[in-house]
Each structure stands twice: as C-alpha cells, then as structure tokens.
Amino acid sequence: MEFGEWISIGYLISACLFILGLKKLGHPRTAPSGNKLGSMGMLVAVLTTVTDMYLEGGAEWTLIISGILVGSTIGYIMAVKVEMTGMPELVALFNGFGGAASALVALSESWKYIENPELSLPTGLGLEVLMIAAGLSALVGWMTLTGSILAMYKLKGGVEIFGKWFRTPTWGPSYLNYIKILLIGLVIVLIYLSISDPRNEDILYSIIAVSSILGIILVLPIGGADMPVVVSLLNSLSGIAAAFTGFIIGNSVLIVAGSLVGASGLILTFIMCKAMNRTLPDVLFKSFGGSEKVSLTRTKVGSDAEEVAMMVDGAQKVIIVPGYGMAVSQCQHQVKEFADLLQDRFDTEVKYAIHPVAGRMPGHMNVLLAEANIPYDQLIDMEDINSEFPECDMAVVIGANDTCNPAARTGEGPLAGMPIIDADKARTVVIIKRSLSVGYAGVDNDLFYEDKTMMLFGDGKKMMNELNAAIKEL
C-alpha cells in the first residue's frame, strides 16, 4: 500500500470532527466549541484533498487557489458585515450557495463527457450510478438554490414597510401541490432518459430548469411564520445534495458529512415544527397565511409616550414582549435603557417573554437582546413566563403581533393552535407598533382593541426614545 492510499484517513478524521461538532452545537455550553470542531473538520477535509491531488501527480493550482481565496473573502465579509437583523436571510442565502455548489459539481462532472467526446463513459453500473447521482444532486441542489433565494426575499419582505409585506404571496392555490408531484416525476423521467443518452445537453438543461421551478413553487405558497421551518428543511436538502455529489465522485467524506447534515437538519426541522405546534406536511402542503387579507374595520385611538410613562410609574412588574418590529428598528439598546430606567427609578421587576418563533428565526430575539447586554436570566421562554402574566402590571409589546394574538386560542383561522404569549392577561398592555395592520399570518389582532390596551403608533426606536425621555421627565 502506497502512502497516497492512506489519504482517506484524513477524510475519516474530518468526518469524526463533523460528528463531534454537530453533537456539541446542540447544547448551549458546548456550542462554541462545536462550531470550531466543525470548521476544523472542514479544514482537514480541504487539506486532505489538496494533499491527495499533490501526491497524485501534481495539481493545477490556478483555479483552485483563486476559487478558495475569492469564496473565503466574500463569505467572510458577508458574515462580518451583516446586521443581526439580517442574520436569517444570510443563513438562507448561504444555504442556497451550498446547494448550488453541489449541483455545479454534478454539472461539471457530467459536462466533462459532453465537452470531451473522446473521454470514455463508464459502463453498466458505473454509468447508472453516475447519472442517477448527478441527476438527484442537480434536482436537490438547484431546488435548494432557488428555494433559498426566494425564502431570503420572503424573510426580507415587509422589512422596509410593514404594509408592503402583504403583497408577497403567503399562500397558493392547492393545485400547486399536484404540480410539485408532477415536476418531481418529470425529473425522475429525465434522469431515466439521461442514463440511455448521457451526452445529451438538452436533458441536462431540462433537469436544471425543472428543479429550479420546483424550488420556487415549493417555497412560494408557504406562509410567513413557517419560513424558518422551510429554511431548516432547505438546509437539510443541501446536505443531501452534497451526499449525492459524494456518490458521483466516489468520496466518503461528502457522503458522510452530507447525510449527517441532511438527517440532523430534518430532525431540527421537526423540533421547530413542534415548537410552533405544526406538522411538516401542514407546513409544506397547507398554506399558513389567510387566502385574503382581513380588511380592518375597527379603529383604535393611539396613546402618547407621556401617558404610558405615567402608567409605568408604580408598576411592580413589567414584562417586555419583543417581536420582529424590535429587530427591524434596531431598538434593543433603547429597550435595555427602558428596562434600566424602570429598575432604577421605580424598582420595577422587568422580564422579557421570548416566543419560540419571535422574529424571523428561532433564537433571533435572544441574539438581539444579548447584543444590548441584557442579562440572560431575564429572558424567559414562553412556556415558563405565561403563568406570570396575570400578576403582571404591564406587558410592553414591541413590534410583535401574531405571537400574542388571542385569535390563536379560538382554534380557527390560520393561527389556530399556535402557542402564544399571554400578554392579554396582563393588567395593562402597551403595544408599540407602526399601525393596526395585520401581522405575518394576516389575521387581525383583538388585543389591539381591548380597553386595557394602549397603542403607541410609530417606529420602535423612535417610540422607545420618546418613552424613555418621558420617564426621565417624571
């Protein structure tokens, strides 16, 4: 056995590092080291590959080195520059790139035989494995790319103006489900055809086109609140795409790492579904948002900051309920100032109620509030804090809507069954929001119109600043 044949041991080490990394990422204390182990696994995999190429008679470095440099630089800059609000969109975009990379490797392998007619194709089993793996990798990879990019825009939708979101479709006609099945069937037929005609470019293009369309119609009808689940599912798919690519080039680490991500991503998807009291088939095949926007017939007179400041004075216990509006207006520092003022001036107990899907990603609020140095023990998960609302003097809802919409308890409509934060059980409720407009799910919120509710209409940052100034003047 020559030295070069031992090179696969590097892939084994790399696979072990990925396994340890994923395992550790699931626990709060070990998560940072899990991430480092994962990145080390990747480094080992790349070094192993490069060493292998070097030992196998030298490598052509131009494309390899420049590709690594360009990709790393772009990725690093994007990761460092992104605002915490934009994190979910960035994860979705990276995911799309991962899927596309797998699909491109598959395309590159198939193209070798098209551009070089003298290159002899594998025969029999080898050919079948090559074409099936390349076809499946293309199907999953291109679908992940278009689906993730659409998911990114759907996550972004409504960022500029809340009202604008509702123009983005959050539902689709149910016949789209049949089209999905039809298109998957079509790709399978195309893959079958490609086995008997491996050098046919048209089949290749058709697979790419159909898979791309499939990704779009898969994500298109899915409603806003389900978007994190879809991104997680696409993440799982990009892993599967990498595993199929592993079959094409006969590489063990691709198969192991890809299927690990595929399976653990699927489990994470189920966990996220469970947190929202939904099932995956419901998310995928029954659109979440209402088929038509509820037209608002009621109105509510807004309050002003001074009025709220007077109500806050004397409150024993205040629970802050942050939502996506807080992320958009970047007012987490003002929120922290507000909490500090209450604690210092009125000796008020302040807590934060975190809904599992507040924001656009699970954990979104935790990250933002942590950025403002809010102590960890004040952030309470929904299940644990809901019992505290009845003895809470004031709930301050900042840019949240669906996550505290009592309509979810009625068992009807798009929000039915979703667990919510019981902000309506507090003695008074202050809601900071730009308008009375409906939330992501497209359902009017009764909480806005209750007598004990005070609405502060405006941008989160502006209203929090006004509120803080008013408290200081008391």
Scan residues 378-397 and list those touching another protein (CB under 8 A).
379, 381
Residue 150 backbone phi and psi in degrees, to 5: -65, -40
User: Contact between 280 and another protein (CB under 8 A)?
Assistant: no
Quick check: 418 binds another protein (CB under 8 A)?
no
Number of other residues whose CB lies within 10 A of the CB of residue 384: 11
Structure tokens at 454: 């005070």
Q: Return the range that interacts with another protein (CB under 8 A); candidates 78-86, 179-187, 209-217, 307-315.
A: 78-86
Count each helix (H run) and each strand (E run) in the chain, helices first.
16, 6
Which H helix or E strand runs over 353?
strand 349-354
Residue found under tokens 């299940």: 383
In 3-state terms the chain splits into helix, strand, coil percentages (rounded to 5) of 65, 5, 25
First to last CA, the chain: 83
- Binding piece for another protein, criterion CB under 8 A, among 359-367, 384-392, 422-430, 431-439: 359-367
Structure tokens at 29: 């204390």
The CA angle 74-229-18, to the nearest 5 degrees, is 55
Site string for another protein, 111-150 (x = CB under 8 A): xx--xx-----x--xx--xx--------------------
343 near another protein (CB under 8 A)? no
The 317-322 sheet, strands edge to edge: 379-381, 349-354, 317-322, 394-398, 428-433, 453-457
State the binding string over 201-240 for another protein (x if CB under 8 A, else -): ---------------------------x--xx--x--xx-
- Write down the catalytic residue from 226, 402, 424, 444: 402
Q: Which is nearer to another protein, 50 or 159 (CB)?
A: 50
Is position 402 annotated as part of the catalytic site? Answer: yes
Segment interacting with another protein, rule: CB under 8 A, options 57-65, 151-159, 219-227, 288-296: 57-65
Q: Give the residue, chosen from 373, 411, 451, 473, that forms a contact with another protein under the rule CB under 8 A.
A: 373
CB of 110 to another protein, least distance (A): 8
Q: Which of positions 253-272 make contact with another protein (CB under 8 A)?
A: 253-268, 271-272
Nearer to another protein, 236 or 334 (CB): 236
Residues 144-183 that bind another protein (CB under 8 A): none
Task: State yes or no: residue 95 binds another protein (CB under 8 A).
Answer: yes
C-alpha 260/C-alpha 38 separation (Å) is 12
Answer yes or no whether residue 242 interacts with another protein by CB under 8 A. Answer: yes
Paired tokens of 59: 């490598």
DSSP 3-state of 314: coil
Which residues are identified as catalytic?
A: 402
